[in-house]
Chains A and B, each alone.
Chain A
Amino acid sequence: MDILHNLALGFEVALTWQNLLFCAIGCIVGTLVGLLPGLGPLATISILLPLTYSIPTGGALIMLAGIYYGAQYGDSVSAITMKIPHASSIVACIDGYQMTLKGRTGLALFTAGVSSFIGGTVAIVVLSALAPTLGEVALLFGPADYCALMLVGFVCVSFVTTGSLLNGMAMCLIGVLLGAIGTDVNSGMQRFTMNLAFLTDGVGLVSVALGCFGIAEITKNLDNRDERTPFNGKIHLMPTWAEFKRIIPSALRGSVVGSFLGILPGGGPVIAQFAAYAVDKKLSKYRHEIGSGAIEGVAGQAAADEAAARTSFIPLMSIGIPENAVMALMMAAFIIKGIQPGPNMIAGHPDLFWGLVASMWVGNCFLITLNVPLVRYWLSVFKIPYSVLFPSILFFCCIGTYSVNNNLDDIFNTAVFGFVGYMFLRLDLDAAPLMLGFILGPMLEENFRRALLLSRGNFTSFFTRPISGTLLAFIGIFIVWQATAFVLLARKTTAGQQPA
């Protein structure tokens, strides 16, 4: 009964006309920006973050969440109609684009919308049941356990987002080092500031995010110079009853898979989509059609995508540790608004927490009532040539950076990170783990030093505590597995080369 009571409180917050408006704006703007080629949820959130500065806390969080779902949906739309893959919608390209080729774009978009709704609804039930309980578990965590948990997050994110543990870990560590720039909290000493006054406070989050995701992505798209042909096909949205019936089971399966995978460290939409797609391929009644434009191929992954996007809020809001880069950015946005996510957030700001949860569902309703019917108009974004778009995106990056502190010097910071981000892209290093490292870095150092202080400099305490010991063992096994796989692969290639 407690949950119902809390949810009622949440809806009371979410359904004020102001917050409804913020949610709707977030969903629509998020969808529009998410549709743009090359801009995934991370870039979209960092570009639109400044929009929320002048909005009251509750509304700002609701709007940010709306932007996130909107961006996710926008991604899947561009994947289905034009096969433009973003990191977050690779799976939607497979069957979704096949359906477009068969002239069933409308059905695919409808399926994606409805399945997202189902996935989101299931995830919200999981979220409201689990988050408060997990919040209590989080109180058992000591500094050493937090360290270990963050390291698990690094390892998982590195592996999931980049596919290469080594590259991803390198980016996490660079992020941690960047996070160390500025004044050391314990000693008050200035580190890595090179006597530059504007670095005393550390490197601005928005500068890093906009540089690595905004500027670098724009430049990469400019380098590619491929003009895309906009989608001009007809869109017929409503499915027949028989088609509609095929959506439900697959979407439900996807929701369960997605909700579960969304909670795990390093989890989130990407891995959930692949898993749901694989499950559908095994279990669906129409599994022989999957891969060639089956409804199930779209429904399952869309539901998993949405469900995981929501349940990935659980670790952030209950333990206070973001599990992937998007959540790290969300956490930063929370902190800008003066809210420290963690076990105390649910108790201290119940209206914010439950309001956010309820607004997720409201956001889903907006997506399905506004975005699905209006999708043909949204698609006209693609008719704007890139030569018009990119100066505008650049402008938003500038305004976004400037308005954090009303300081024009920050734009130079963004420019530096734009260059660094471009280097990363060209060196095939993914900037998403860097973001996580950058935001978790100061927390990691704080907890690391505290843990050593408590154990009087004894490192064994990291291994003897049950929680951190288990987590570190997991990391150890993972690294050994990766190393073995690499050695085996290397042996196979050298063995293959010798006869020739």
Chain B
Amino acid sequence: MNDRNLVRGLFLIAISLAFGLMSLRYPMGQFSRAGPGLFPLLVSCLLFLIGVFTVARSRFVERVPMDFNLKNISLILASLCGFAVISEYVNMIVGIVFMVFCASFAGTSYSVMRNIKISIGLVAVAFAFQKLLGLNLPLY
């Protein structure tokens, strides 16, 4: 599976199948009176064709290895989701602190002092947004 062009084709096919099969469940109607399923089905078919063509083409062009760093993207996503969950159940200040501490694991270096400083700075910005721009942030 270490071929970027091949994976790309398969990825496109997967997306087209996901949308295409789902749109089959909606009424099609006729061309003169199109139902909600018709247009997405047509688009998915086109995408499927492009996917198949990409897979076919990947056999003719040189293989490009695909690099994928699961650690960084997981850390970033975890810090986003954590921010949302904590802001929902505790408050946004704790959320911001969590986000900074969790996300910086993905950086080149880790320093608790620096994280505390960044958190203080961002909380201050959040207060400024709330008071000056009138954003409705559940800070505390």
The CB with the most chain A CB atoms within 10 A, among B15, B53, B77, is that of: B77
CA–CA, A351 to B26, complex, Å? Answer: 44
Nearest residue in A to B107 (C-beta to C-beta)? A387
* Interfacial residues of chain A within 178-197, with CB under 8 A of chain B in the complex: 180, 184, 186-187, 189, 191-192
Contact among A395, A429, A449 for B96, CB-based, below 8 A: A395
Contacts A388-B118, A403-B135 hold; do A394 and B79 have CB atoms under 8 A apart?
A: yes
CA–CA, A459 to B122, complex, Å? Answer: 56
Distance of B76 from chain A, by nearest CB (Å): 5
Distance of B96 from chain A, by nearest CB (Å): 6
CA–CA, A225 to B37, complex, Å? Answer: 45
* Interface residue? A27 (CB, 8 A): no
Residues of A within 8 A of B67 (CB): 223, 426
Residues of B within 8 A of A402 (CB): 87, 137
Nearest residue in B to A494 (C-beta to C-beta)? B60
Q: Is the CB of A411 within 8 A of B84?
A: yes
* Interfacial residues of chain B within 1-40, with CB under 8 A of chain A in the complex: 4, 7-8, 11-12, 15, 19, 22-23, 26-27, 30-40
Residues of B within 8 A of A166 (CB): 50, 53-54, 57
Q: Is the CB of B76 within 8 A of A180?
A: no
* Interface residue? B120 (CB, 8 A): no
Nearest residue in B to A188 (C-beta to C-beta)? B36
Contact among A222, A397, A427, A452 for B107, CB-based, below 8 A: A222
Q: Is the CB of A412 within 8 A of B81?
A: yes
Nearest residue in A to B106 (C-beta to C-beta)? A222
Residues of A within 8 A of B88 (CB): 408
Q: Is the CB of B36 within 8 A of A177?
A: no
CA–CA, A388 to B103, complex, Å? Answer: 11
1/0 contact string of A141-182 vs chain B (CB within 8 Å): 000000000000000000000000011011001101100100
CA–CA, A445 to B34, complex, Å? Answer: 10
CA–CA, A10 to B42, complex, Å? Answer: 44
* Interface residue? A428 (CB, 8 A): yes
Contact among B104, B108, B125, B133 for A227, CB-based, below 8 A: B108
Q: Is the CB of B77 within 8 A of A419?
A: yes
Q: Is the CB of A180 within 8 A of B39?
A: yes
Nearest residue in B to A490 (C-beta to C-beta)? B60
Q: Is the CB of A390 within 8 A of B107?
A: yes
CA–CA, A192 to B129, complex, Å? Answer: 35
The CB with the most chain A CB atoms within 10 A, among B27, B81, B121, B135, is that of: B135
Residues of B within 8 A of A457 (CB): 30-33
CA–CA, A428 to B11, complex, Å? Answer: 12
* Interface residue? A399 (CB, 8 A): yes
* Interface residue? A379 (CB, 8 A): no
Q: Is the CB of A187 within 8 A of B36?
A: yes
Q: Is the CB of B133 within 8 A of A414?
A: no
Q: Is the CB of B34 within 8 A of A170?
A: no
Distance of A71 from chain B, by nearest CB (Å): 20
Q: Is the CB of B72 within 8 A of A223?
A: yes
Q: Is the CB of B137 within 8 A of A399?
A: yes
Nearest residue in A to B8 (C-beta to C-beta)? A427
Q: Is the CB of B76 within 8 A of A394?
A: yes
The CB with the most chain A CB atoms within 10 A, among B15, B27, B84, B125, is that of: B84
Q: Is the CB of A422 within 8 A of B4?
A: no
* Interface residue? A423 (CB, 8 A): yes
Residues of B within 8 A of A427 (CB): 4, 7-8, 11, 66
* Interface residue? A329 (CB, 8 A): no
* Interface residue? A232 (CB, 8 A): no
Q: Is the CB of A394 within 8 A of B99?
A: yes
* Interfacial residues of chain A within 296-323, with CB under 8 A of chain B in the complex: none
CA–CA, A189 to B8, complex, Å? Answer: 32
* Interfacial residues of chain A within 407-423, with CB under 8 A of chain B in the complex: 408-409, 411-412, 414-415, 418-419, 422-423
Nearest residue in B to A456 (C-beta to C-beta)? B32
Distance of A144 from chain B, by nearest CB (Å): 13
Contact among A176, A219, A428 for B43, CB-based, below 8 A: A176
Q: Is the CB of B76 within 8 A of A452?
A: no
Contacts A222-B72, A457-B32 hold; do A54 and B134 have CB atoms under 8 A apart?
A: yes
Q: Is the CB of B104 within 8 A of A177?
A: no
CA–CA, A335 to B106, complex, Å? Answer: 36
CA–CA, A138 to B83, complex, Å? Answer: 46
CA–CA, A426 to B132, complex, Å? Answer: 40
1/0 contact string of B114-138 vs chain A (CB within 8 Å): 1100100110011001000111110
Residues of A within 8 A of B30 (CB): 457
* Interfacial residues of chain A within 18-62, with CB under 8 A of chain B in the complex: 50-51, 53-54
CA–CA, A456 to B96, complex, Å? Answer: 56
Nearest residue in A to B121 (C-beta to C-beta)? A392
The CB with the most chain B CB atoms within 10 A, among A219, A390, A391, is that of: A391
Q: Is the CB of B99 within 8 A of A180?
A: no
Distance of A116 from chain B, by nearest CB (Å): 29
Q: Is the CB of A177 within 8 A of B8?
A: no
Contacts A408-B87, A409-B84 hold; do A169 and B99 have CB atoms under 8 A apart?
A: no
For the A-B complex with A192-B23, A394-B99 known, give 19 more contacts whose Cβ atoms are closer than 8 Å.
A51-B133, A166-B54, A166-B57, A173-B50, A177-B15, A187-B27, A189-B36, A191-B37, A192-B40, A387-B108, A387-B114, A394-B79, A398-B83, A399-B135, A403-B136, A418-B77, A419-B77, A427-B8, A448-B39
**Interface residues, chain A, CB within 8 Å of chain B?**
50-51, 53-54, 166-167, 169-170, 173-174, 176-177, 180, 184, 186-187, 189, 191-192, 215, 218-219, 222-223, 225, 227, 386-388, 390-392, 394-395, 397-399, 402-403, 406, 408-409, 411-412, 414-415, 418-419, 422-423, 426-429, 445, 448-449, 452-453, 455-459, 486, 490, 493-494
Q: Could you jot down 14 A-B contacts, CB within 8 Å? A: A166-B53, A186-B36, A187-B27, A219-B106, A222-B72, A223-B69, A223-B72, A387-B109, A392-B118, A394-B80, A408-B88, A427-B11, A457-B33, A493-B60
